[in-house]
Amino acid sequence: MSVLCDCAAISTNSTTFSVEKTLSKKLLTLVLKVVYKTPEIEYLHYALQIINHALKVHDLRRLICSENLRSDNAVGEDGEVLVVTYHTFLKSTVEKQAEVISIDKLSKKVIRQRREIESWASAV
């Protein structure tokens, strides 16, 4: 999937091969939820690449900023549904993982992507 998004991003014929046509909302949601449920470095690495391309597409960017990754609709102490978006997941879980911290380049990519998504989320 990551390779297809890379190819779509550099394609000169966007009418037949583009990120929007390669990556649907359902597929992007699946990528986000898989990484949330299994935050392993391999999945995270590819998800970072896929999401970087998806952020360039308005509808996909909106989904990344607002999609609740929790499937159980857990309720907090105040009675509100607990929402875990991708950027809150990056901040609260991924940035604190020892494996991510130990790889400087990966850690910087995670922080940069989280900050970019937070800025988009505040604009939405």
Once rounded to an integer, what is the mean pLDDT over residues 26-43? 94
Q: How many domains does the chain have?
A: 1
Cα dihedral across residues 59, 62, 63, 64: positive or negative: positive
Within 10 A of 4 (CB to CB), how many other CB atoms are there?
15
CB-based contacts of 118, cutoff 8 Å, min separation 6: 87
Model pTM score: 0.85
Q: Domain of residue 28: give its range.
A: 2-123
Residue-wise pLDDT tens digits, 68-117: 998 776 666 676 768 899 999 999 999 999 999 999 999 999 999 999 99
CA distance 25 to 67: 10
Cα dihedral across residues 93, 38, 105, 5: positive or negative: negative
Length of the chain: 124
- Please give the structure tokens belonging to residue 33: 């939820």
Residue-wise pLDDT tens digits, 69-79: 987 766 666 76
> Which residues lie across from 81 on neighbouring strands?
75
- Residue 92: the pLDDT is 95
